[in-house]
Amino acid sequence: MSEAKNNQLPQGWTQASLSEIAYVNMGQSPPSETYNPDGNGLPFFQGKTEFGNLYPTPKWWCTSPSKIAEKDDILLSVRAPVGPTNLAPSKSCIGRGLAAVRPEHGINLKYLLNGFRRYASELDSKGTGTTFKAVSGKVVRDFIFPIAPSAEQERIADKLDELLSDLDAGVSALERVQAQLKHYRAAVLKAAVEGSLTAAWRAKHPTTETADALLTRILAERRRRWEQTQLQKYKEAGKEPPANWKDKYKEPTKPKLENLAGLPEGWCWVRLDQLLFEIEAGKSFTCEPRRAGPDEWGIIKVSAMSWGEFDETENKAVPSAREIDPYYEIKPGDLLLSRANTFELVGASVLVKDCRPRLLLSDKSMRLLYSPNIEKKWLKTVLGSPVIRRQISHKSTGTKEGMRNVSQEIILDVLIPLAPAAECRAIVDAVEEQLSVIDHLEANLEAKLKSASALRQSILRHAFTGQLVPQNPKDEPASELLKRIAIERHKFTQKIKIAFKKLPKNRKGK
């Protein structure tokens, strides 16, 4: 650690690896059939998604745990992301995304917890992996902490509780508002696809063309494009098309209307297949685990499509020019969809407004080719609404805690409420107006949260460089504390060895 050099530490302090001051138990996911959402067994924590400010909230329970954390063990996230911490609220089962850290006698629990929070970014920097960053048990155990004398650890922990409690309360209030805005954003998108957002607009603008009429135009264009493509193929092959070549066209299947919600007058239900010409799947490229330079070819990661806007910086370099296929290059105006992601994010879509050249579509993504009769911003709005997102997530396949996947067939079968063309444009305008207000409020909240985070790190930095509370020369030095911990561990090990020797021979191998 940059600030934990021995010659920079206050008098009486030292530094030690985590394995010298705590017991580390790396998590392991139990068989999927042993955990449940019904409260049977021990609470089962898998990672950061269940974390709160200090304690996690269980979503799953396990009847046959593989690895266990005891009450008040520090739960350290060791995988996607690395570094966040909570305390175990009770005896719990921990999955492979967590480690349980139990400090030795003489190491203050809150001191060590805040130490993890001070050095979370440094631990994260030691993570490896392309899709999900993770740290091994060895990296965790070898991680170095500055250790204050026991008495000073108590003073630091008490002072941090005092200073951070008000800050935590303010951050919690900001996060509650942030969550409310997230719900409001979802409500706006839900209202957009159900018609309530433009109810007043419809009252002032009688329908001149129904959604059925718009769909007729879209399907006609879809067939015309297919015929044009087929004729081009015959021409390139030097062949005349057979007499019945148009009969090979396959009309998209109409949706089954049973059990579907009612729609505003003039609207209709469609399958996404009816609105698209084609879905282009991405390609797998060999790549390096680094971002592509401005003049290099790169392949986008799933995170480039995960958060509503296309993030071109989320890419990996493609080293071999022989692999480059310009057909998969992403261009402004492309509508992209995530084929592989978490349950919450699989099927996330982005409309590429602008992007640098030489970025390629990965095999974990799709490009949707839509009819020019469709307002592209409207289609992106619909695909991002909770109504459609739930369809995609629940049809996705994969493990409970791992990556989920959707096929082209699943996407084509998505049911969409289609509005008349004029109302589609009105929906886009109304959504953009509402979301621009939310965006502005979210930006202000984010700025306040960043300021709070900077203040927190400043307080923690002072704490772990000996500047938060005064030192007492009469305190037992931390080096003596480490010696005592080592002696106690040795005594415990000797007791275990003696007890093991006393066991009957036929039990030692068990």
Query: For residue 187, what are the CA distances in angstroms to 191, 371, 384, 385, 399?
Result: 6, 27, 12, 9, 29
Among the ranges given (112-121, 440-449, 498-507), the one the predictor scored with the smallest mean pLDDT: 498-507
Angle at 407 between CA 405 and CA 410, to 5 degrees: 110
Homologous superfamily (CATH) of 210-419 is DNA methylase specificity domains (3.90.220.20)
343-388 tens-digit pLDDT: 888 999 999 998 999 999 999 999 999 988 999 999 999 999 998 9
Nearest to 266 by CA among 201, 189, 187: 201
E strands in 263-414: 268-271, 276-281, 298-300, 315-317, 335-338, 340-341, 349-351, 359-360, 365-370, 397-398, 404-405
Give the model's pLDDT for residue 295: 87
18-72 tens-digit pLDDT: 999 999 999 999 998 999 999 999 999 999 999 998 999 999 999 999 999 999 9
Give the model's pLDDT for residue 427: 97
Whether 506 has a pLDDT exceeding 80, the answer reads no
Amino acid at 397: T
Q: Which two tokens stand for residue 203?
A: 């009252």
134-149 tens-digit pLDDT: 999 999 999 999 999 9
Mean pLDDT of 280-293: 88
Amino acid at 507: R
Q: Does the bond joining 146 to the residue before it have cis omega, within 30 degrees of 0?
A: no
Question: For the chain, how big is the Rg over CA atoms in Å?
Answer: 29
409-447 tens-digit pLDDT: 999 999 999 999 999 999 999 999 999 999 999 999 999
Q: Which CATH class is domain 6-147?
A: alpha beta
Whether 2 has a pLDDT exceeding 50, the answer reads no
